[in-house]
């Protein structure tokens, strides 16, 4: 794909050429900067729309869930995270009812492990 600046310049040149041919450019000192601004705004809007399509709005990494069935190491089973049922691949043996931590997501399968017990470190100060 062409560099975004090149695309913007091409759009502006085409618009200026159309306006010159049709006779709508009456004062180039006003019209040309206006076209540059409009071209830039068009570019930014298009770029924002294209980039927003690739965002992941739902990230499950780091979330805690509960196993709905026994899952063997490297096996698949079902868990519940935020009230939703998910297929999960376990990195270690997990028993039904164990809390699990989501490490990653591959397509519609969550990669999980048992939730680690957090050590309570109290500060004596």
Whether 117 has a pLDDT exceeding 90, the answer reads no
Pairwise CA distance, residues 41 & 25, whole Å: 20
Whether 68 has a pLDDT exceeding 90, the answer reads yes
Hey, what domains does the chain have and what are their CATH numbers? Answer: 4-52 (no CATH), 64-114 (2.40.50.140)
Predicted local confidence at residue 11, as pLDDT: 80
Token pair belonging to 119:
């050590």
* Cβ atoms of 76 and 97 closer than 8 Å: no
Token pair belonging to 70:
């026994």
Q: What is the pLDDT of residues 4-55, one digit of tens each?
A: 777 777 787 787 777 777 777 667 777 778 778 877 888 888 887 777 666 5
What's the average model confidence in pLDDT over 96-103? Answer: 94
What percentage of the chain carries pLDDT values higher than 70? 81
State the pLDDT confidence band at 3, using cuts at 50, 70 and 90.
Answer: low
Question: How many residues appear in the chain?
Answer: 125
């Amino acid at each position: 794909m062409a560099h975004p600046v090149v695309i913007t310049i091409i759009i502006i040149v085409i618009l200026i050429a159309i306006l010159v041919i049709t006779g709508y450019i009456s004062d180039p000192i006003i019209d040309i900067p206006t076209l540059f601004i409009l071209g830039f705004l068009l570019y930014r809007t298009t770029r924002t729309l294209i980039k927003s399509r690739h965002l992941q709005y739902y990230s499950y990494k780091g979330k805690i869930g509960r196993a709905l069935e026994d899952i063997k190491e490297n096996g698949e089973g079902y868990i519940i995270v935020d009230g939703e049922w998910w297929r999960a691949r376990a990195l270690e043996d997990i028993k039904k009812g164990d809390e699990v931590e989501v490490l990653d997501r591959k397509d519609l399968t969550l990669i999980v492990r048992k939730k680690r017990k957090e050590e309570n470190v109290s500060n004596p100060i």
